[in-house]
Chains A and B, each alone.
Chain A
Amino acid sequence: MAAEKGEKGAAAKEVAGERMVTLESSDGEEFHMSEAAAQLSTLLRHVIEGGGIDNGIPLPKVAARTLEKVIMYCEKHAKAAAKSDSDPSAAAGSSSDNTAAASEDLEKWDRKLVNGLSQDALFDLIVAADYLVIDGLLDATCRKVADMMKGKTPDEIRKIFNILNDFTKEEEEEMRREYAWAFDD
């Protein structure tokens, strides 16, 4: 798989106009992504600007399966941004309809991406998005976790995420009073 990617990467490097960067996951796999996509990560952007991309960028905090998703996200959003930039129909009205539809599609794509993840993968992706400073991805993933918490009791939330209840009985009662309004139904 890595070898395949490597070949594909080598071929991609030769595609005219598309500069690529090489990334190395924590488990030693090599990945390639377009520089345009890499720009979505503030961290990578700084590394690229600093000129340190010749031998590939090691990402010790990001595992291969997560990096794959990160790249998917960045490539998708970079392409969408390029498309809307080069959209010649800049007439007021018609282009705003198009951009509204396009951004809605992109949102749907984001939701599909995060909905398809296991809980572990989701949190891996949050950690990666935070580390690489990819605002849009962090937003989409955090939103997903927030949605998972809405409408649940504290106990349900603990069960879903394996959170320890570290209150004493007395503390818990006091807090129940403090937040009584949250428990009317």
Chain B
Amino acid sequence: MEGEGEQDGCPCGAVAADQFDRLPDAVLMDVFNRIGNVKALGRCALVSRRFHALVPLVDSVFVRVDCVIPDDLPQPPGSAGSQQQQAAVPPARGHGALAQLARLVLGGIARPIQALVQILSPAAAAVSRRSAPQPASPPAPASDVSHHSPSEVLRPFKELRRLHIELPTGELGIDDGVLLKWKADFGSTLGSCVILGALSVSSKPPSPSTSPETAADSSANSADSNREPEESGSLPESLFTNGGLKLRVVWTISSLIAASARHYLLQSIIADHAMLGSLNLTDSDGQGVLTMDKRQLQELRVRPISASASSHRTLMPALSMRLYYAPHVELPGGTLLKGATLVAIRPSEDSLREGGGAGAAGPAGTCWISDAFEEPYRTAAKVLLKRRAYCLEMNSF
């Protein structure tokens, strides 16, 4: 068998040593486990027989999805990604406010992710979005674009324990300046969800001429400076009249729909990887984070997902929600959130089981709420948690 070209070796003509010869398999696995990126791993698998045997044994993988295709659409090459998916909007059943809201919400989701998720190279993705014929580069086999689902890409990795998938964007089309972030964990169905939103996010310039309480801020005391002259935490009357509360409910339902759609996508991956102990599905906008831990993955294997009828997402159980509002929240670093809202959501069944009902914090405390987000939003959540909680119940949907 041929060596890799001529190498300067010792005079006896031997090839310079393969650096990895000195490493036992376990150490080589240590290296592969730190590569993370699934494409890089795929390339390593083709380096040598040893690499090919070991790469599939990695225990953690990161998959960056370049592009998303909504299901139900015919797939002409070059039309990938950013289309409005009206066809897949499920009919809103029932009458009245909730149905109306549902229609409003579902129309507003710009990029609902359906069953097929596609990975493209960045160059090909750019071409397809312009719907132009591919420029004169080496022609791709058959079609302009290759379609690979995360399921396919992950297939070789039978020993996978930790998986992180990053979607190219968040699903929720929101206006500029609006903040909307969600974090949800799932077993067979929703475990909990925390949503943080704000009407606007702005940088507050340091202003020595402001009133004494804000000037005396240290980051540890910022909570005090946010206490408005009104009773601490009550929802202002205006929120009910100017559509503010309705907007918060729209945020909430949109986030839950996005989360449940992501969860639904994961079924085949979870089924294929029995060793999986941790799963994260994020997006590069930082909008939504879906997590599943070992216990939850086990639960899903034992109790399969109930799908919401006619839509590719997991059924939401009846939910208990606590909503916290503050007109202004200042974050460490000087960012100012206006109309800040925190919504903490759990299945009604769980709230009842813990004996606290929807109104109490419950024995589990509020760590799951305050720890849902990284800084600076973690501080925002803590500030908002001090406000009065408004409780809502929502039916299964």
Contacts and interface: CB of A to CB of B under 8 A. Distances in A.
B136 to A, nearest CB: 16
B48 A175 contact: no
Residue with the greatest number of chain A CB neighbours at <10 A, chosen from B15, B17, B20, B27: B27
Contact count band on A = 35 or more
A146 B17 contact: no
Interface stretch (A22-30, A32-40, A101-109, A152-160): A152-160
A84 B35 CA distance: 30
Contacts of B123: 185
B12 interface: no
A157 B23 CA distance: 16
Contact count band on B = 35 or more
Contacts of A175: 45-46, 52
Nearest to B26: A130
A143 B46 contact: no
B301 interface: no
A172 B31 CA distance: 23
Contact of A162 (B19, B27, B122): B19
A126 B148 CA distance: 36
A183 B120 CA distance: 10
B16 A153 contact: no
B300 interface: no
Interface string A79-102: 000000000000001000000000
A185 B46 CA distance: 16
A163 B20 CA distance: 8
Interface in A145-185: 145-146, 149-154, 157-159, 161-167, 172, 175-176, 178-185
B295 interface: no
B34 A142 contact: yes
A119 interface: yes
Interface string B36-66: 1111111111111101100000000000000
B49 A167 contact: yes
A127 interface: yes
B31 A145 contact: yes
A96 B120 CA distance: 41
A159 B4 contact: yes
A123 B19 contact: yes
Interface string B1-26: 11110010000000111111011101
Given A119-B19, A150-B35, A184-B121, A162 B48 contact: no
B7 A162 contact: yes
Interface in B97-116: none
Contact of A127 (B23, B37, B38, B120): B23
A163 B146 contact: no
A163 B43 contact: no
Given A119-B19, A142-B31, A150 B124 contact: no
Given A130-B23, A146-B36, A181-B148, 15 more contacts: A123-B23, A126-B23, A145-B31, A149-B31, A149-B40, A152-B40, A161-B18, A164-B15, A165-B2, A166-B48, A179-B46, A180-B148, A182-B41, A182-B42, A184-B124
